Amino acid sequence: MEEDFEILISGFLESEVGISEHFISEKLAHHLRANLLSLHDRKLMPMAGIGNVRAHALDKTIRNDRIYWFDRNNHDPYENEFLDQIDLFIKYLNLTCYTGIKAYEFHYALYEPGSFYVKHKDQFNNDQGRMFSLITYLNDTWVEKDGGELLIYQSTAEQKIAPTLCKTIFFKSNQLAHEVLETKKARLSITGWLKRE
Give the tens place of pLDDT for each residue, 69-126: 999 999 999 999 999 999 999 999 999 999 999 999 999 999 999 999 999 998 766 5
The answer to whether the Cα torsion of 69, 6, 118, 145 is positive or negative is: negative
Q: Is the pLDDT of residue 19 over 80?
A: yes
The model's pLDDT over 138-196, given as tens digits with 9 standing for 90+, comes to 999 999 999 999 999 998 889 999 999 999 999 999 999 999 999 999 999 999 999 98
State residue 123's pLDDT score: 79
Neighbours of 30 (CB within 10 A): 15
Q: Is the pLDDT of residue 54 over 80?
A: no
